[in-house]
């Protein structure tokens, strides 16, 4: 990957988002100004996504980004430019940076958004010190939560970004397909951590990063219960195992999050057990049900309830825990269930789904493996999708058959 080309791409997309998305959000939600303040190594998550690529997500000293005129104007309360944010602070004439901000915003009469939120960590980026000092300096202004601006900025994708997300998914799918094959898995020798570290090494060698350590687990005949992948100890992969991987990369700033399965053939076998094939098909049906119920402006809790009701009517035994994805892995936006809460999530789950947003379609289905004397098992699926006007669509397809390890 060419670092300079990647940086140029990210900056071009950033400029278009700043020019078009920010004004649209601020006008839609009635904000005259938006102030985002960060100090070096303690950056607001929103600020990190607005910095030029060659800043590597780090503020310098105190970096204050300011949008005015309902987003049509932007500047940096700084002595030097911050990408396309022109500098408007001259410390020689006004040494106090906060007082300079107050003077710059003296003409503003409407609401000024700052990043604090009880429900969304990514919209709660201002520190207590910065908030206190800003409130003192801007005491005569109406300071309100910029949550809808922060969430809208982070979750909404503009034209072209979907293509970059899809390419990241395609690359990640290729890693998964290789990891869930005999290229990597040697039954009786390869451990689950061997597979996880192979993935981490491959991504590193290709000039990208993973945003969490891959979770690799197995289910096998005789196991007492199914356990989440990240809670299982290192195990040697054996013939007859159902292998599961949870994996995500970052490419050009876009995150992926995917979970797939493979079956390790026993001697003499040419196919996975029929009940596992049916279990995977049930997982695909659960994905279909969820995605057909995902509609912009419905809340995550409404989508969850509608999907679970339909799944129950169809006899699909699913647990749904789907989240937005994009500039972060567990990204800004509504929450559609959690694995340990299927009754709706107060706050985050009440937020409506946004248009042109990325989603990690994450869920599991329960089934019995008849070939294992009726032992319970799970298919744990995760595939990245995009919410468009007429529903959600996978960015790079999905797994529809069990991969086989010979």
CATH, residue 208: 3.90.230.10
Q: Is the pLDDT of residue 62 over 60?
A: yes
Averaged pLDDT, 339-349: 95
- How would residue 389 be classed by pLDDT, with cut points 50, 70 and 90? confident
Q: Which residues of 115-128 are buried (b: 16+ CB within 10 A; e: fewer)?
A: bbbebbebbbbbbe
What's the CA gap between 257 and 227, in Å, rounded?
Answer: 19
Q: What is the CATH number of the domain that holds 104?
A: 3.40.350.10
- pLDDT of 228 reads 47
Mean model confidence pLDDT for the chain: 94
Q: Is the pLDDT of residue 143 over 50?
A: yes
Task: Give the total number of structural domains in the chain.
Answer: 2
84 and 170 together in one domain: no
Find all residues with CB under 8 Å of 253, minimum gap 6, and list them: 10, 49, 327
- How would residue 114 be classed by pLDDT, with cut points 50, 70 and 90? very high
93 and 165 together in one domain: no
Q: Is the pLDDT of residue 241 over 70?
A: yes
136 and 251 together in one domain: no
Dihedral over Cα of 107, 111, 113, 116: its sign: positive
208 and 346 together in one domain: yes
- How would residue 196 be classed by pLDDT, with cut points 50, 70 and 90? very high
369 and 253 together in one domain: yes
Burial of 318 from C-beta contacts in 10 A (0-12 / 13-18 / 19+): buried
**Domain finish residue from 108, 131, 155:** 155
Provide the percentage of residues in the chain whose pLDDT is more than 90: 88
169 and 114 together in one domain: no
Q: Is the pLDDT of residue 249 over 60?
A: yes
Of 314, 216, 310, residue with least CA distance to 258 = 216
**Domain finish residue from 155, 180, 204:** 155
Q: What is the pLDDT of residues 154-191, one digit of tens each?
A: 999 998 899 999 999 999 999 999 999 999 999 999 99
Q: Is the pLDDT of residue 7 over 90?
A: no
Of 9-18, 25-34, 115-124, 295-304, the least confident: 9-18
Query: Cβ(127)–Cβ(158) under 8 Å?
Result: no
- pLDDT of 17 reads 95
Provide the percentage of residues in the chain whose pLDDT is more than 70: 98
151 and 189 together in one domain: no
Query: Cβ(356)–Cβ(157) under 8 Å?
Result: yes
102 and 234 together in one domain: no
- How would residue 131 be classed by pLDDT, with cut points 50, 70 and 90? very high
Q: Is the pLDDT of residue 229 over 50?
A: no
Q: What is the pTM of this model?
A: 0.93
Of 79, 74, 125, residue with least CA distance to 100 = 79
Range of the domain at 8: 3-155
Please report how many Cα atoms fall inside a 13 Å half-sphere around the Cα of residue 402, on the Cβ side: 28
Phi and psi torsions of 199, nearest 5°: -60, -45
212 and 331 together in one domain: yes
131 and 196 together in one domain: no
Q: Is the pLDDT of residue 225 over 70?
A: no
149 and 244 together in one domain: no
Q: Residues in the chain, how many? A: 406
**Domain finish residue from 155, 189, 210:** 155
Q: What is the pLDDT of residues 19-46, one digit of tens each?
A: 999 999 999 999 999 999 999 999 999 9
Q: Is the pLDDT of residue 352 over 50?
A: yes
- pLDDT of 391 reads 83
120 and 165 together in one domain: no
């Amino acid at each position: 990957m060419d670092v300079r080309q990647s940086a140029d791409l990210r900056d071009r997309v950033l400029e278009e988002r700043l020019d078009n998305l920010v004004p649209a959000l601020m006008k839609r939600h009635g904000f005259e100004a938006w102030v985002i303040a960060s100090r070096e190594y303690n950056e607001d998550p929103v600020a990190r996504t607005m910095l030029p690529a060659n800043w590597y997500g780090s503020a310098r000293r105190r970096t204050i980004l300011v949008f005015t005129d309902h987003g049509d104007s932007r500047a940096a309360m700084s002595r030097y430019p911050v990408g396309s944010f022109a500098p408007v602070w001259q410390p020689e004439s006004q040494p106090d940076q906060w007082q300079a901000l107050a003077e710059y915003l003296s003409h503003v009469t409407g609401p000024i958004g700052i990043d604090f939120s009880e429900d969304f960590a990514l919209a709660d980026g201002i520190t207590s010190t910065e908030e206190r000092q800003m409130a003192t300096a801007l005491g005569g202004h109406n300071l309100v939560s910029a949550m809808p601006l922060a969430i809208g900025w982070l979750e909404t994708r503009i034209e072209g970004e979907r293509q970059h997300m899809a390419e990241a998914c395609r690359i990640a799918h290729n890693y998964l397909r290789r990891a869930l094959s005999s290229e990597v898995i040697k039954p009786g020798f390869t451990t689950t951590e061997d597979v996880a570290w192979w993935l981490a090494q491959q991504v590193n060698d290709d000039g990208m990063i993973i945003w969490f350590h891959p979770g690799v687990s197995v289910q096998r005949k005789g196991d007492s219960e199914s356990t989440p992948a990240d809670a299982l100890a290192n195990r040697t992969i054996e013939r007859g195992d159902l292998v599961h991987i949870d994996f995500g990369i970052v490419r050009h700033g876009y995150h992926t999050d995917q979970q797939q399965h493979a079956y390790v053939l026993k001697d003499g076998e040419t196919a996975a057990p029929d009940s596992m094939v049916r279990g995977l098909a049930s997982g695909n049906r659960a994905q279909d049900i969820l995605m057909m119920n995902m509609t912009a402006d419905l809340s995550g809790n409404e989508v969850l309830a509608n999907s679970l009701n339909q799944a129950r009517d169809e006899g699909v035994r699913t647990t749904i825990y789907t989240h937005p994805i994009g500039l972060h892995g567990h990204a800004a936006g509504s929450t559609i269930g959690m694995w340990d809460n299927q009754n709706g999530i107060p706050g985050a789950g009440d937020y409506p789904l946004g248009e042109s947003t990325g989603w990690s379609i994450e869920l599991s289905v329960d089934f019995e493996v008849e070939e294992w004397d009726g032992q319970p098992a799970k298919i744990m699926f995760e595939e990245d999708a995009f919410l468009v006007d007429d529903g959600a669509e996978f960015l790079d397809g999905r797994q529809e058959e069990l991969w086989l390890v010979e």
